[in-house]
A and B are shown apart, each in its own frame.
Chain A
Amino acid sequence: MQNILQISWIIPVLPFLAFACIGLILHRSPKGSAALSILAIGASFILSVLVAIKVFSGNPGQVFEMSFRWLNMPGLNVDMGILIDPLTAVMLIVVTTVALLVQIYSLGYMKGDPGFASYFAYQSVFAGSMLGLVVASNFGQIFVFWELVGMCSYLLIGFWFGRNSAKNAAIKAFVTNRVGDFGFLLGILFLMIVFGTLNYGELAVKIAGYDNMAVLLPIAILLFFGPMGKSAQFPLHVWLPDAMEGPTPVSALIHAATMVAAGVYLIARAFFIFSQVPQALILIAAVGGFTAIFAASIALVQNDIKRILAYSTLSQLGYMVMAMGIGAMTAGMFHLMTHAFFKSLLFLAAGSVIHAMHDEQNIWKMGQLSKKMPVTTWTFVIGALALAGIPPLAGFWSKDEILLGAYAGGYIGLYVLGSLVAFMTAFYMFRLIFTAFFGPNKEGHHAHESSPVMTTPLIILALLSIVAGFVGSPFMNNIFGHFITAPGAVHHEANVSIMVISSLLALAGIFLAWLIYQKEIISAESLRQRFSGIYKVLYHKFYIDEIYAWLGKVFVDGGARLLEWFDLKIINGAVNGLAFFTGWSGHTLRYAEDGQVQTYALYLFAGVAILLITALCAVFAAVV
């Protein structure tokens, strides 16, 4: 069985091959493209399962690594290779499972789209890049694939590029990620300069014995820029909600389950660096915690089904990052895994709803969907329960681990904040459910259940959302935590009272949503009026986009205007001034040319006389 690890490099290569085939040969055949793409990711999935079985039947600390030199120049060597350890194995399973299900689902969702073949080509290249990122054995490689998934994200957000909003969202995502990736790249180069290697294993050894905080702290913070952009942490979160302009399966795969989790994965992968720098960990925890509550509060008042889910994703990513920051790396990764399943489920179910509603995304125009779309409704409810953290669903176990980590680690503030976010999460998810699925059908729409090709992935993901949490539960001796750990990562024994409190908070959130939006005992309208100021701020997402637009206007446009002035006045002025001076002197001196030969002769004579006098002076000076 050692062989399976030897050939595991095929896992990321297969989707790339599928991409190449679709792009070069099959692009005229939508069915062939889809079939090849699904075949490739399916094969990767099977291989990933085999790899995972191999890894999880071995010792936790076991690492398999192979690589070749890809880039070799003085001062910078980048290898391409694979690194298979339990962390990689988990990510492989998560990515291939969700990607496979999303691609199958896309068969139904994207049916009849003119870009069907290229959609699957993008999906394939994304899957390949994401898998390449996951198995990367060094920072150089992870950066290459990091950028590749960013490019796929750009392509897929702007998939319907005919729509201006989609085009702008794609550009926004790309530009925002540049900010984060720039820091990330600087961090990587810093590592290369200081330690001379980018390989995880070698770096881990070198950094363990390194205690120059003045070097490690900037490295850690620069590296954190990468996750801040990719995992959409405040203040670089603005692109993710707009990324919902892409097709919904894309939102599920890239902007909920896998790519945005890459940032969290990176923190986990580089935990050996972060755990050395307590200040960086505090920063990470603060950013994550703030993002969690910030995004959750925005999600409370949004009306677009995908935007609610997008802010929920932001919030949950904040949760994971916070977990990393408080040292509960295992809990963070655990939440990443469970979140990938239930959030992709929620997005796919939302996509099913949007499909049935003919691209209507406003939850207030839905209603009564439970009668017309039972499978979608109940899978969505399962996903929402899992997200809200209702036991024994997946989200409960992972969210609880994070709260436990915060509480036991002495971060009481973050624990309270996390609990509050859990309450808010339950509330906004069930606000959505009670409105869209169980509320009155005000618009008189005629939704219908989606085809089995779309509902089957929903059912599979719903099952995963139910059971995936058990691998980290005390019932299975926390096998997840046994394998996924890192030096410096803390782990705490399960605490029943925290479980009870978080469950009660989630239930309270659901109950409140039920009171307001189902029974309408508390009027949503009067609440909105009473807190109209807060409502407005939340509805406008704390005006962050407006602030950025303003900053852009003041600094970018202002700078541009300043430079334009400099260019027009100083640069052009110098050039024009020179030309003017030449012209002016020509105009003035031409009066010396009066056409009289005698005048010219006089000039000649004067010139000779001057030369003669100069020469004589020189001679006299030499003599004297």
Chain B
Amino acid sequence: MIGLNHYLLLATILFGIGVYGVFAKRNAVAILMSIELMLNAVNINFVAINKFIQPGNTVGQLFAIFVIVVAAAEVSVGLALIISIYRQKKSVNLSDFNLMKW
């Protein structure tokens, strides 16, 4: 029987992978994808907790949809940024984007 804990475990693993990707990946597009992973881990949590703790209520599901919407906007802005940086640097490697330093 699959219970709440399984969902939470799945979300945690997904979130961990996302965090790892954000910190370890050098490719900017891969980092955007990792962020999507983290957001989706959160979405799983929202829906699972909604289902198991307060089944009569749909606030969690609504919030998940809300997050998806924001994530779509975020990705489009992020990709636009990456494209414009790429036009400057001819690279999507984050190591080359080090203008914000001392």
Number of residue pairs A-B, CB distance < 8 angstroms? 28
Q: CA A595 – CA B94 in complex, angstroms?
A: 10
Q: Are A595 and B101 in contact (CB under 8 A)?
A: yes
Q: Are B94 and A598 in contact (CB under 8 A)?
A: yes
Chain A at the B interface: SS class: helix
Q: Are B22 and A598 in contact (CB under 8 A)?
A: yes
B97 within 8 A of A: yes
B19 within 8 A of A: yes
Q: Are A591 and B23 in contact (CB under 8 A)?
A: no
- Given that A602-B23, A605-B19 are contacting pairs, would A597 and B94 also be in contact in the complex, using a CB cutoff of 8 Å? yes
Residues of B within 8 A of A590 (CB): 102
B99 within 8 A of A: yes
A359 within 8 A of B: no
Q: Which of B19, B23, B31, B101 contacts A593 (CB 8 A)?
A: B101
Q: CA A601 – CA B94 in complex, angstroms?
A: 13
Q: Which of B19, B23, B31, B101 contacts A594 (CB 8 A)?
A: B101
Residues of A within 8 A of B69 (CB): none
Q: Are B22 and A601 in contact (CB under 8 A)?
A: yes
A526 within 8 A of B: no
Shortest beta-carbon distance from A600 to chain B in Å: 8
Shortest beta-carbon distance from A365 to chain B in Å: 83
Q: CA A596 – CA B101 in complex, angstroms?
A: 8
B5 within 8 A of A: no
Q: Are B23 and A601 in contact (CB under 8 A)?
A: yes
> Range of interface residues on chain A?
10 to 19
Q: Are B22 and A595 in contact (CB under 8 A)?
A: no
B100 within 8 A of A: yes
Q: CA A595 – CA B99 in complex, angstroms?
A: 6
Residues of A within 8 A of B31 (CB): 598
Residues of A within 8 A of B98 (CB): 594-596
Q: Are B94 and A593 in contact (CB under 8 A)?
A: no
Q: Are A593 and B102 in contact (CB under 8 A)?
A: yes
Residues of A within 8 A of B95 (CB): 596
Residues of A within 8 A of B102 (CB): 590-591, 593, 595
Q: CA A598 – CA B27 in complex, angstroms?
A: 11
Q: Which of A591, A596, A602 contacts B94 (CB 8 A)?
A: A596
Q: Which residue of A lies closest to B26 (CB)?
A: A598
10 tightest A-B CB contacts, nearest first:
A595-B101, A595-B98, A590-B102, A595-B100, A593-B102, A593-B101, A594-B101, A598-B23, A602-B23, A596-B98
List 17 interface pairs A-B (beta carbons < 8 Å), by A numbering. A591-B102, A593-B100, A593-B101, A593-B102, A594-B98, A594-B101, A595-B97, A595-B101, A596-B95, A597-B94, A597-B97, A598-B94, A601-B22, A601-B23, A602-B23, A605-B19, A605-B23
Interface residues of B (CB under 8 A from A): 19, 22-23, 31, 94-95, 97-102
